[in-house]
Amino acid sequence: METNNNQGLLKIAIGVLVGIVALLTYLFMGARNETFELQQSLTTKVEQLSTAQIKLDSISTVLNVKIEEIKKLGGDIAELEAVKLRLEGDKKKLKSDLNFSVQKYDSMIKEYEAFLEIKDDEITRLKSENGDLIARAKLLEEEKEKVISENTGLKSEKATLTKTVSDFSSQNDELKQKVSIAKAMKAINVQVYALASNGKVRDGGVFKASKISKLKISFIMPSNPVAEKNIKDIFVRVIDQNGAVISEDGSAGTLNYDGKELGYSFKQGVLFENNDQKVDIVYGKSSQYQAGKYSIELYSEGFKIGNGSFEVK
């Protein structure tokens, strides 16, 4: 009786074990299938990412080639550069895109490919236009050579004519220079007077510094048959014993003479009447003159027309 009970318990234990083994086998197979499916999914995702990366790299290479080609053809590459910048951003984003969608990148790649096809048409158009330009340039070059050939016989005549014109121009310049010199004003008998503050005039050319309130410079402008009657600017240079040009403010201005710029003390317009007229110019400065010898130089219309002097004790 006891033996039968033991055998029954053994059968029950074996049945339980068989059930447990069956359950573990089921669970193991399920986990194995799930792992396999996950591996397949990951493999597919990696392949899709790799394909997208390869296509974007290929598009980038083609885009760079087209940029250089259109640049050489003289086309506008601003749009190409903008698309290149966006493409580089998309390539960078792909490397870290956790929400990668093959549909999204397929659509993006098709958009880039369509853009490249448009640029192919533009390149074809530019090549055609450049071909027309080259043909026109060749035609113009042929016409140029023809004109040069036809004008070969005129070169010698032109050179002779150019020399003749040059000779006449040189003679004309010389004549103009002679006329300018003939028209130049003259200032003769230049005299310097000292005006005291009370209006008294002192002559003789030697003055006390305390007696000089102003200078009066007098001279004769002889008549000149080729000179025009108009207002002449008379530039006056008062030069001290050290060779410095004096003026009220220290820098009255400059005049051109013999290709140089000279500082002057003051200038005054004088109506030239062409009648041996006497001219008086008055110049005053607030500071006192230093002792020494001074010279006066007069200029007009680019010429030095006269000079004088005085001394201060």
Give the Cα-Cα-Cα angle 117, 119, 124 (nearest 5 degrees). Answer: 100
Highest-confidence segment of 98-107, 159-168, 233-242: 233-242
Average pLDDT over every residue of 62-84: 86
Six-digit token pair at 126?
Answer: 């530019």
Residue 182: predicted pLDDT: 47
Quick check: 294 and 256 in contact, CB under 8 A? no
Residue 307: predicted pLDDT: 94
Residue 189 identity: N
In the chain, where the domains are located: 2-124, 188-312
pLDDT digits (tens, 9 = 90+) for 83-132: 888 888 877 777 766 566 778 778 888 888 888 888 888 888 888 888 77
Q: Going by DSSP bridges, is the β-strand pair 245-246/231-239 parallel, antiparallel, or unpaired?
A: antiparallel
Residue 86: predicted pLDDT: 85
For residue 34, pLDDT beyond 80: no
CATH number given to 188-312: 2.60.40.1930
pLDDT > 70: percent of the chain: 73
Q: How many residues does the chain have?
A: 313
Helix (H) or strand (E) run with residue 133 in it: helix 102-150
For residue 238, pLDDT beyond 90: yes
Six-digit token pair at 209?
Answer: 């510094």
What radius of gyration, in Å, describes the C-alpha atoms of the chain? 53
Mean pLDDT (the chain) is 80
pLDDT digits (tens, 9 = 90+) for 174-230: 444 444 454 678 999 999 999 998 889 999 999 999 999 999 999 999 998 888 899
Average pLDDT over every residue of 133-141: 78
Residue 149: predicted pLDDT: 73
Residue 55, Cβ neighbours under 10 Å: how many? 17
Residue 94: predicted pLDDT: 74
pLDDT digits (tens, 9 = 90+) for 257-304: 999 999 999 999 999 999 999 999 999 888 889 999 999 999 999 999
Quick check: 277 and 220 in contact, CB under 8 A? yes
Residue 291: predicted pLDDT: 94
Listed in sequence order, the residues at least 6 apart from 208 whose beta carbon sits closer than 8 Å to its beta carbon are: 312, 313
pTM to 2 decimal places: 0.44
Q: How far apart are CA 216 and CA 203, in angstroms?
A: 10
Residue 202: predicted pLDDT: 94
* Cα 307 to the center of its chain, rounded Å: 49
